Amino acid sequence: VIISLIFVIYKIRINQVLKLQTVRNKIARDLHDDIGSTLGSINLYSQIANIKLQQNKSEEIKTILNKIGLFSREIIDKTGDAVWAVKASNDSLKNLILRMESYAASLLGSANINFTIDYNEIDFEMKLEMIQRKNIFLIFKEAIHNIIKYAHCTEVKIHIKRMSKQI
């Protein structure tokens, strides 16, 4: 019985390690793809800028340099998001909400949109797995981008709730 119990505990631990490794591999693959694609675009645009420089087309060069700047900021953001999601010290819901507030303040503030976040019924000490944090934050980012792009609003109210075991 003791040997069986030890074996079961060992198998559970191995499965946890394998699950974590799978998630880390997926994040690494996604990050690699994002970085590779974005750096490829930056490289292409820099080559085009060199050609336009030789042709003395300064207005087109400004447009290309702006695109390179946008791509650079995008890859910095994606890398920061991936590192944040993997970092074990960010596993509480409190840290996720703080990151969401910071992100919303940055983007909505620069778009002159006032916002409030209601999270009265949330257990801040609730632990989230790495993939949960990542997915919730990506959904949140997409919602903020869509608000700025399509809503044409001056105020946003964000409600974060826990229903059963879902946020």
pLDDT greater than 90 at residue 8: yes
pLDDT greater than 80 at residue 88: no
For residue 100, the model assigns a pLDDT of: 93
Residue 121 is inside which H or E element, if any?
none
Q: With bands split at pLDDT 50, 70 and 90, how would you rate the model's confidence at 34?
A: confident
Q: With bands split at pLDDT 50, 70 and 90, how would you rate the model's confidence at 6?
A: very high
For residue 83, the model assigns a pLDDT of: 81
pLDDT greater than 90 at residue 14: yes
Give the separation between CA 26 and CA 9, rounded to whole angstroms.
26
Which amino acid, residue 163? M
For residue 146, the model assigns a pLDDT of: 95
For residue 124, the model assigns a pLDDT of: 82
DSSP 8-state symbol, 113: -
Residue 13 is inside which H or E element, if any?
helix 2-54
Average pLDDT over residues 62-67: 90
Nearest to 112 by CA among 80, 82, 142, 155: 155
pLDDT greater than 90 at residue 154: yes
Average pLDDT over residues 29-55: 87
Answer with the residue of higher pLDDT: 83 or 55.
55
For residue 79, the model assigns a pLDDT of: 85
Give the separation between CA 123 and CA 120, rounded to whole angstroms.
9
Nearest to 134 by CA among 88, 87, 85: 85
